[in-house]
Structure 1
Amino acid sequence: MPFKKPHHTSDKNCITKDGDKFVILPRGLNIVWGNDSRYWKIPEQGPAELTQVSWLEVSGVVPITKAATYSVSFEVNVKEDGFGWKGTDVLVMAKIGKTGKYRFKVNNLSPGQNIVIPSEQLEIPVVGPSDLHFGLYEVWSGKWKGGLEIIKAVVQPLP
């Protein structure tokens, strides 16, 4: 039996571009432990659902060609039976290139919440063609958490 990689790798067909705006559906993201059904459910269509993890890492990369300031956001839903979110900071982070310095915004999530995070805009200045790396992270608390749905991520230039 061949070894199955434990992590879900981005399917570039699930990333759409409209002008300079990118919409990344769940299958277009890299999801740590995403290929293990004990931790995630990632259907062909619809949101990716976190069953349980202690290490939340959902990331992506988009190629930026136009110099501008971009915003990065995730649309998420915490189901009513979601757990492990109280008092847990979740970070939306982004950087230019693999070696760039991260900018981030801290968020708190609560069950029964369908929101766009970060609540304050995360702005990333881009001066020329480059890859913009971004993600949603909670890897510090060690707490088990579940019931999070990732609906989409959006990277777009600010007006």
Structure 2
Amino acid sequence: MSSPSSPHYRGSKRADKEDKKFIEEKDGKVIIYPQAFDIIWGGDDRYWKISKDTPSPVELVQVCWLEVTGSYDIKSLEENTEYKLQFDVEPKADAFGWNNPVYVMAKVGDTRKWKKFDLSRDCRSPTNPAIVFNTGSKEKNPKLAFGLYDIWTGRWKGGLHIKSVIISPNKA
């Protein structure tokens, strides 16, 4: 979580402590709410609106450095199986600055995958930013790290709700 001296929100400490309030495992899916994410500039109300105690969407007010990351202990997932990691996002009516791509990342062990998305188009349709990953050996790679990024353009963007990250079996 953020502290008065930090402009950043550190929700991953909650996820690491097995705070199940922000992580749901049901119907073969895992739902991770943004309160369990690390959000750069998330500790500053000028940039983000975050309800820290309730599983609920967070609102990006405006930033020029978008970095939202998290992790999940994959022990409840099947070993050596493909899963889809999807950011459930929704633009507000006054969304701006999404004319550049954002990147979604998933990493298990040494295997890192990136995928580029155009949120000006993609998040207004039923297809939210998603990436496929393989769990590999859970003994060697017990953690999944993930993120949503636009840290290279330096352009301001805002008006986006991040509802959750959903991990589900990949049914190609």
Same-fold call, TM cutoff 0.5: yes
CA contact (8 A) 1:59 1:136 kept: yes
Aligned position for 1:156: 168
Aligned CA distance change for structure 1 residues 46 and 135 (closer, same or farther; 3 Å)? same
Of 80, 83, 88, which residue of structure 2 is paired with 1:75?
A: 88
Could you tell me how far apart the structure 2 residues matched to 1:16 and 1:41 are? 22
Aligned position for 1:124: 133
Could you tell me how far apart the structure 2 residues matched to 1:64 and 1:19 are? 16
TM-score (norm 2): 0.79
Of 62, 75, 89, which residue of structure 1 is paired with 2:101?
A: 89
Instruction: Give, in angstroms, the shift of residue 30 of structure 1.
Output: 1.2
TM-score (norm 1): 0.85
Aligned CA distance change for structure 1 residues 142 and 33 (closer, same or farther; 3 Å)? same
Could you tell me how far apart the structure 2 residues matched to 1:116 and 1:8 are? 27
CA contact (8 A) 1:79 1:113 kept: no
Instruction: Give, in angstroms, the shift of residue 33 of structure 1.
Output: 0.9
Aligned residue type for 2:7: P
Could you tell me how far apart the structure 1 residues matched to 2:115 and 2:29 are? 20
Aligned position for 1:133: 145
SS in structure 2 at match of 1:110: helix
Identity percentage of aligned residues: 38
5 Å matches for 1:57-68? Answer: 57-65=67-75, 66-67=78-79, 68=81
Aligned position for 1:104: 114
Could you tell me how far apart the structure 2 residues matched to 1:152 and 1:128 are? 26
Aligned residue type for 2:23: I
**How many pairs are equivalent?**
153
Instruction: Give, in angstroms, the shift of residue 31 of structure 1.
Output: 0.9
Aligned CA distance change for structure 1 residues 146 and 9 (closer, same or farther; 3 Å)? same
Aligned position for 2:10: 9
Could you tell me how far apart the structure 2 residues matched to 1:42 and 1:113 are? 22
RMSD of the TM alignment (CA)? 2.1
Aligned CA distance change for structure 1 residues 15 and 45 (closer, same or farther; 3 Å)? closer
Aligned position for 2:43: 35
Instruction: Give, in angstroms, the shift of residue 9 of structure 1.
Output: 1.5
Aligned position for 2:18: none
Name the structure where helix makes up a greater proportion of residues: 2
